[in-house]
Chain A
Amino acid sequence: MASVACNSSLSVAAATVQCGAGKKRSSGGRKAVACPAFEGLSSRSLSLRITESVDLNSELVSKRPESRSVTVCSLKDLRDRIATVKNTQKITDAMKLVAAAKVRRAQEAVVNGRPFSENLVKVLFNVNSQLQTEDIDIPLTQIRTVKKIALVVITGDRGLCGGFNNYVLKKAEERMKQLRKIGVDFTIVSIGKKGNSYFKRRPHIPVDRYVDSGTAPTTKEAQAIADELFSLFVSEDVDKVELLYTRFVSLIKSDPVIHTLLPLSPQGEVCDINGNCVDAADDEMFRLTTKEGKFSVERETVRTETPEFTGVLTFEQEPVQILDALLPLYLNSQILRALQESIASELAARMNAMNNASDNARDLNKSLSISYNRQRQAKITGEILEIVAGSTVTI
């Protein structure tokens, strides 16, 4: 009897240790099984039940103290786990809501920029119609043989947004491989902390400049980037500037895309690397709405009206000079727009990731509660059996 007691207390101690370790998945042995680890909960609780019934049926008296204390330990462990999962779920829920609110703000920023871009397009159109016949030479539209490309990579500042940053960086790697293959030199302008740390870890990739993007892109930031690109291009350090950013398609879909930023086409067209061009007057807007209690996105194409001016417009300077003043503005607004879209995509990606995390937490919570209740019931059954057994002994 004494030896049995000693044994059981030992095994209890062992079991407690394993409970404390918790995360370690120990193999074999009843005591290990008694403590739920983080994975494979359902199978574990099943085997736990089996051991318990074995306990109760065969060596009822000798094993009793062990089985009870083991159960208490795992019950507490389970309770702690449930509390942890609940807390995590609260955090992910909150992060999702914060991201949703920020998407709204990002959308407002785009809407606030509308009057500017509309007017810009109007003037660009009119100046262009005046310039159709003239042969113009503007630094920003100069097409040269491409020897070196500046690749502007826009990533986010933070993680926890699913594959958002990875997709951008993968696309960048892909483009760099292509450029190496065709023997074109390149340099990177990295925007966003995630991209910065990625390129800093890879010293073999030539990086011209690291820029941090904030949570709300301002004209000043866009201006700083535009200045950098402008001087890179005008000084003929690079012959082409490509912009890699995440295009915001919808809340569940965003595309990393590559656009040619410089040389600008004097018509204000935006071209992707495949040569598909979009007219400046065609503009897409995204709008966050709620549909049946869930967030959704409407994307609409806006065609800016380009009316002729009333009266005869006097050009204070040569039209070429005016275009020269216009195009940097256009460049700037293009960059700002890319930054805004990228941020909107990041927030949408975060919303999704956090939504999935909350769902997972809910599932985990459910299965944990089931195994917790199961153990609790088993414990109660055990206690009733004890009482019944005790009463038969006294009689």
Chain B
Amino acid sequence: MTLNLRVMAPNRIVWNSEVQEIILSTNSGQIGVLPNHAPLLTALDIGILKIRINGQWSTMALMGGFAMIDNNQMTILVNEAEKAVEINPQEARDTFQIAQKKLAQAEGRKQVIEANLALKRAKARLEAIDATPPSPVPN
């Protein structure tokens, strides 16, 4: 049996293909998913998603959502997903620094919540770029 992965954002389908392995950042830590996984429903934190196809790892930054595995079909619904290859490293670093500054200057509960969200997103983006793909695994 093969594992099929679908990543969906509100306006488009980000990813739809067969994969060999998936690593997710869930609310309770990272989990790895291989084919024939038991049915599972989990909430996803703002973080990275790693996908292995033909021994190659690709990374994506996910902006919060949830994942569902049922019958070798994995469905991930997210607010926004950004593929690592599509992220501009310089821009991501700048955004991260701006977000850090904003959090330091934030006053009041509302601003702190907002700044925290922004920082988390910026961090996920950075992680996605920095996640150096592990050396290809022979099949």
Interface residue from B10, B27, B71, B79 paired with A117 (Cβ < 8 Å): B10
Mask: chain B, 34-59; 1 = CB below 8 Å from A; 0 = not: 00001111111000000000000000
Q: Are B117 and A109 in contact (CB under 8 A)?
A: no
Interface residue from A123, A235, A322, A332 paired with B110 (Cβ < 8 Å): A235
Interchain CA distance A365-B41 in the complex, whole Å: 66
A231 at the interface (CB under 8 A from B): yes
B70 at the interface (CB under 8 A from A): yes
For B44, give the chain A residue with the smallest CB separation: A325
Contacting residues, chain A, for B138 (C-beta < 8 A): none
Binds B, one of A44-52, A86-94, A307-315: A307-315
Contacting residues, chain A, for B128 (C-beta < 8 A): none
Interchain CA distance A123-B75 in the complex, whole Å: 10
**Shortest distance in angstroms between B6's beta carbon and chain A's nearest beta carbon?**
8
A120 at the interface (CB under 8 A from B): yes
Contacting residues, chain B, for A234 (C-beta < 8 A): 113
A219 at the interface (CB under 8 A from B): yes
For A230, give the chain B residue with the smallest CB separation: B113
Q: Are A322 and B71 in contact (CB under 8 A)?
A: no
**Shortest distance in angstroms between A241's beta carbon and chain B's nearest beta carbon?**
13
Binds B, one of A172-180, A220-228, A291-299, A354-362: A220-228
Mask: chain A, 97-118; 1 = CB below 8 Å from B; 0 = not: 0000000000001001101110
Binds A, one of B61-69, B83-91, B93-101: B61-69
- Residue of B10, B40, B108, B117 with most partner-chain A CB within 10 A: B10
Interface residue from B12, B79, B118 paired with A329 (Cβ < 8 Å): B79
Interface residue from B64, B66, B114 paired with A228 (Cβ < 8 Å): B114
**Shortest distance in angstroms between B122's beta carbon and chain A's nearest beta carbon?**
13
For chain B, the count of residues having a C-beta within 8 Å of the partner chain is 37
Known: A223-B79, A311-B71, A322-B42. A112 touches B11 (CB 8 A): yes
Q: Are B11 and A316 in contact (CB under 8 A)?
A: no
Interchain CA distance A348-B91 in the complex, whole Å: 38
Interchain CA distance A227-B63 in the complex, whole Å: 12
A321 at the interface (CB under 8 A from B): yes
Instruction: Say which size band chain A's interface belongs to.
Output: 35 or more
Interface residue from B42, B70, B117 paired with A227 (Cβ < 8 Å): B117
Interchain CA distance A332-B39 in the complex, whole Å: 26
**Shortest distance in angstroms between B13's beta carbon and chain A's nearest beta carbon?**
6
Contacting residues, chain B, for A315 (C-beta < 8 A): 40-42
Q: Are B28 and A227 in contact (CB under 8 A)?
A: no
- Residue of B28, B42, B65, B77 with most partner-chain A CB within 10 A: B77
Known: A223-B80, A329-B77. A311 touches B39 (CB 8 A): yes
Contacting residues, chain A, for B19 (C-beta < 8 A): none
A336 at the interface (CB under 8 A from B): yes
Q: Are A317 and B11 in contact (CB under 8 A)?
A: no
Interface residue from B10, B31, B41, B78 paired with A123 (Cβ < 8 Å): B41
Q: Are B109 and A317 in contact (CB under 8 A)?
A: no
For A126, give the chain B residue with the smallest CB separation: B41
A279 at the interface (CB under 8 A from B): no
A137 at the interface (CB under 8 A from B): no
Q: Are B27 and A321 in contact (CB under 8 A)?
A: yes
**How many inter-chain residue pairs (CB < 8 Å) link A and B?**
119
A129 at the interface (CB under 8 A from B): no
Contacting residues, chain A, for B68 (C-beta < 8 A): 119, 123, 313
Q: Are B39 and A329 in contact (CB under 8 A)?
A: no
Contacting residues, chain B, for A22 (C-beta < 8 A): none
B23 at the interface (CB under 8 A from A): no
Known: A317-B42, A329-B65. A232 touches B70 (CB 8 A): no
Interchain CA distance A254-B12 in the complex, whole Å: 26
Contacting residues, chain B, for A230 (C-beta < 8 A): 113, 117
Contacting residues, chain B, for A311 (C-beta < 8 A): 38-39, 70-71
Interchain CA distance A230-B113 in the complex, whole Å: 9
Q: Are A316 and B77 in contact (CB under 8 A)?
A: no
Interchain CA distance A321-B13 in the complex, whole Å: 25
Interchain CA distance A312-B40 in the complex, whole Å: 8
**Shortest distance in angstroms between B72's beta carbon and chain A's nearest beta carbon?**
11
Q: Are A324 and B39 in contact (CB under 8 A)?
A: no
Q: Are A116 and B10 in contact (CB under 8 A)?
A: yes
Interface residue from A220, A237, A316 paired with B80 (Cβ < 8 Å): A220
Interface residue from B40, B42, B71, B77 paired with A310 (Cβ < 8 Å): B71
**Cross-chain pairs A/B with CB under 8 angstroms, 6 sampled:** A116-B10, A314-B38, A317-B42, A317-B43, A328-B79, A329-B77
Which 9 A-B pairs rank lowest in CB-CB distance, beginning with the nearest?
A325-B43, A316-B42, A235-B110, A235-B109, A231-B113, A311-B39, A231-B110, A116-B8, A231-B114
Query: 10 other contacts beyond A309-B39, A310-B39, A313-B41, with CB at 8 A cut-off?
Result: A120-B77, A227-B118, A309-B70, A310-B70, A316-B41, A316-B42, A317-B43, A325-B64, A332-B79, A336-B11
